[in-house]
């Protein structure tokens, strides 16, 4: 039996990132059940539970300490190594993740190898080794054709500028799993391909099913603005920041749309807010873009 592990828990923050794929996920084959060494105490079982709880709470270093203790004690080593590798990916330490995955690969069962390959592919992508990442994804696909191989590989294709291959992968994923996240990913891709009508149609369909899905409002606002429909875009973007006031890209696009409509003062306030958020989030390129627009109207 397969179990679904959502990578947005351990690859990025939980927030959607406008302009890139919203959700990264893997369909991981179940690992063979491990038994603890003879005489393993309840304390070791509690250690595993505590590590998992720390991971789910975003306390990744605490989780890593717990899984490292399990590994040192020889308790459920395979599971602890796999979980520690995921945590390393979250804290952007792909080399450490690869080290754990290589250790697992030595004794992995056939139904476990696809999981390791996909995780290694993500790690290679984080290192900027796109060709190695694609090679690992292709190997995983040969072992286990599941939608999450295609979802994650599509992100690599997008990073490489190969939007046609990314679209094919997302369409395969949707055929296998027509989820909201997969359709959202396709909408983002259509925007990046300048297919604004298709982008808007997909996001509108998503919002008809769930009118509380914040990323769809923000992304549709960006699509509408890109299509020159700034009044409609502003409505969506205001809705998005009302529901989630941390969406820097939504504030940025609000500022740009206000400028397009000649509302300079309103634009400045939204651009300043986006700049503050970008700076806090470490997005220096976006911060500079916002500051450039703020300065422009006063010239």
Give pLDDT tens digits for 215-232.
999 999 999 999 999 999
pLDDT in tens, 173-206: 999 999 999 999 999 999 999 999 999 999 999 9
Per-residue pLDDT at 45: 63
Q: Are 220 and 207 in contact (CB under 8 A)?
A: yes
Whole-Å CA distances, 220 to 126, 148, 160, 216, 248: 28, 24, 24, 6, 15
Q: Which has the closest alpha carbon to 142: 113, 164, 168? A: 113
Q: Which has the closest alpha carbon to 185: 14, 33, 21? A: 21
CA distance 55 to 134: 28
Alpha-carbon dihedral sign for residues 16, 21, 27, 31: negative
Q: Are 196 and 226 in contact (CB under 8 A)?
A: yes
- pTM for the predicted model, two decimal places: 0.75
Our CA angle for 166, 158, 149, nearest 5°, is 50
pLDDT in tens, 249-299: 999 999 999 999 999 999 999 999 999 999 999 999 999 999 999 998 554
Per DSSP, the three-state class of 288 is helix
Q: Is the pLDDT of residue 9 over 50?
A: no
């Amino acid at each position: 039996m397969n179990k679904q592990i959502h990578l947005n828990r351990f690859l990025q923050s939980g927030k959607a990132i406008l302009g890139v794929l919203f959700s990264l996920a893997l369909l991981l084959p179940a690992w063979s059940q491990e038994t603890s060494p003879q005489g393993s105490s309840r304390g070791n079982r509690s250690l595993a539970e505590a590590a998992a709880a720390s991971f789910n709470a975003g306390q990744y270093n605490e989780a890593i300490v717990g899984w490292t203790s399990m590994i040192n004690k020889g308790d459920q080593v395979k599971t602890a190594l796999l979980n520690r590798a995921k945590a390393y990916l979250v804290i952007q330490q792909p080399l450490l993740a690869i080290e754990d995955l290589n250790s697992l690969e030595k004794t992995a069962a056939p139904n476990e190898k696809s999981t390791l390959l996909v995780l290694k592919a993500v790690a290679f992508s984080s290192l900027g080794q796109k060709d190695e990442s694609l090679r690992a994804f292709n190997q995983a696909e040969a072992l286990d054709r599941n939608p999450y191989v295609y979802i994650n590989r599509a992100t690599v294709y997008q990073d490489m500028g190969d939007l046609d291959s990314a679209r094919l992968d997302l369409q395969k994923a949707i055929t296998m799993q027509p989820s909201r996240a997969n359709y959202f990913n396709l909408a983002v891709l259509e925007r990046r391909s300048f297919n604004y009508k298709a982008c808007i149609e997909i996001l509108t369909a998503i919002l008809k099913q769930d009118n509380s899905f914040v990323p769809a409002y923000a992304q549709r606002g960006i699509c509408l603005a890109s299509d020159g429909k700034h009044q409609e875009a502003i409505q969506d973007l205001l809705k998005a920041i009302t529901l989630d006031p941390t969406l820097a890209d939504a504030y940025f696009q609000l500022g740009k749309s206000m400028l397009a409509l000649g509302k300079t003062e309103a634009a400045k306030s939204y651009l300043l807010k986006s700049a503050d958020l970008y700076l806090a989030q470490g997005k220096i390129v976006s911060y500079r873009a916002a500051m450039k627009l703020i300065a422009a109207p006063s010239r």
